[in-house]
Amino acid sequence: MTFLAKPKVRHPSLPKNSLGLTRRDYEGSMSTLCAGCGHDSITAAVIEACWGLALEPQNLVKLSGIGCSSKTTAYFVGGGHGFNSVHGRMPSIAMGANAANRDLTYIGVSGDGDTLSIGLGQFCHAIRRNLNMLYIIENNGVYGLTKGQFSASADVGTQAKRGEVNRQPPIDPVLLALTLGAPFVARSFSGDKQQLVPLIQAGIRHRGFAMIDVLSPCVTFNDHEGSTKSYAYAREHYDPAVNADFVPFAREITADYSAGESLPIVMHDGSRIVLKKIAPDYDPTDRIAAMAKIQAGMRRQEFLTGMLYLGRGDREFHDLNEMPQTPLNAIPYGQLTPGSKGLDKILARFR
């Protein structure tokens, strides 16, 4: 199997963003995933989101671990720099890359296996450092690439394709991220592009760690009856609580949000996320209340989706570490060395 370059067909009628680029310009190489795989829909949403934001492709860094989900960074924004690392350890690559150059946009794509088992430690610590990135979990409840074993997000009672029933409680990335203090926590479904695209856009523009857990059915190993991560089950138990609209800086808020149910939140760069509350009693700015509601939903076998929590004014990694605006990789060498004169001073201590 070789690398397939997607032929770029130019259609003069295709809509262009402010950079003059069409959606096609944000595509990557041809997906090699199974037809119908939820991950491909998420790829499409990422393409739409990046096009909509008019991101300069070369300023996008796409990071991933290992899994079907992690392969998808090759399938969007071919003009961005990709780093497909090792299983479960994308967060550390993202951390190092981000420390070296804060000016780029970092999107990490991971799977439930990649994040919640082998990579659980790195995921947690990326949150603790408030690494400025968008972290997408393409959550299908199984290890797709190794052929369908249960992952740590598999619900109790869910059934594997071969009949085995899971008895171990799941790790919920949303609750975990909330517990660890993540400033931006969302959940969505690969089948709901409407909801997902603005969330991705908001997550990219958000300063600090933004996590979106996206339910993304694996058609090959986890889309049967008895599975709680199938398309059918997801549609049935899907419960949007707070949808988000992303409004880039300098664009008017035009939609009609009825008072009390919408909440515009201004982001660091001046753009806004307008939260549209579908469940009026849900408060996405109260971490504790959000956690209670999410858990209550789980008890009813419903999975709440949307912008579940959005904190304000968090200090991300560079702020916390008092680092300069200039990316470290752009500081001229002359400013990094004390030179021979400095060395004389330093050596005095060792005489």
Ligand X SMILES: Cc1ncc(C[n+]2csc(CCOP(=O)(O)OP(=O)(O)O)c2C)c(N)n1
* Site residues for other proteins per CB under 8 A: 1-3, 29, 56-59, 61, 63, 73-74, 78-86, 89, 91-101, 103-104, 121-122, 124-125, 129, 321-325, 328-329, 331, 333, 335-340, 342-343, 346-347, 350-351
Partner interacting with residue 37 (select from other proteins, Mg ion, ligand SF4, none; CB below 5-8 Å by kind): ligand SF4
Q: Could you tell me how many residues of this chain bind Mg ion (CB under 5 A)?
A: 4
Partner interacting with residue 112 (select from ligand SF4, Mg ion, other proteins, none; CB below 5-8 Å by kind): Mg ion
Q: What are phi and psi of 292, to 5 degrees?
A: -60, -45
Give the tokens for residue 183: 């400033």
Measured from the CB atom, is 43 or 105 closer to ligand SF4?
A: 43
- Note whether 159 and 165 are within 8 A (CB): yes
Partner interacting with residue 146 (select from Mg ion, ligand X, ligand SF4, none; CB below 5-8 Å by kind): ligand X
- Note whether 109 and 70 are within 8 A (CB): yes
Measured from the CB atom, is 28 or 88 closer to Mg ion?
A: 88
Between the CA of residue 35 and those of 31, 38, 203, 217, what are the distances in Å? 9, 9, 27, 12
- Smallest CA-to-CA distance from 318 within 106, 120, 84 is with 106
Partner interacting with residue 340 (select from ligand SF4, other proteins, Mg ion, none; CB below 5-8 Å by kind): other proteins
Alpha-helical (H) ranges within 54-172 are: 68-71, 90-100, 112-113, 120-128
Counting contacts by CB under 6 A, is residue 215 touching ligand SF4?
no
**Which one-letter amino acid corresponds to residue 163?**
G
Among 60, 68, 200, 244, contact with ligand SF4 (rule: CB under 6 A): 68
Counting contacts by CB under 6 A, is residue 64 touching ligand SF4?
no
Task: Tell me which residues in 72-131 interact with Mg ion (CB under 5 A).
Answer: 111-113
Task: Tell me which residues in 122-151 interact with ligand SF4 (CB under 6 A).
Answer: 140, 144-145
Q: Give residue 141's region: left, alpha or beta (phi > 0; psi -120 to 50).
A: left
- Smallest CA-to-CA distance from 64 within 138, 1, 158, 132 is with 138
**Minimum distance from residue 123 beta carbon to other proteins (Å):** 10
Helix axes 90-100, 120-128, angle to 10 degrees: 30
Task: Tell me which residues in 6-45 interact with ligand SF4 (CB under 6 A).
Answer: 33-34, 37, 39
Partner interacting with residue 316 (select from ligand SF4, Mg ion, ligand X, none; CB below 5-8 Å by kind): none
Q: What residues contact residue 188 under an 8 Å CB cut-off, 6+ apart?
A: 195, 196, 199, 212, 213, 214, 215, 305, 306
Counting contacts by CB under 5 A, is residue 140 touching Mg ion?
yes
Q: Catalog residues that contact ligand SF4 under the rule CB under 6 A.
A: 33-34, 37, 39, 68, 140, 144-145, 218-221
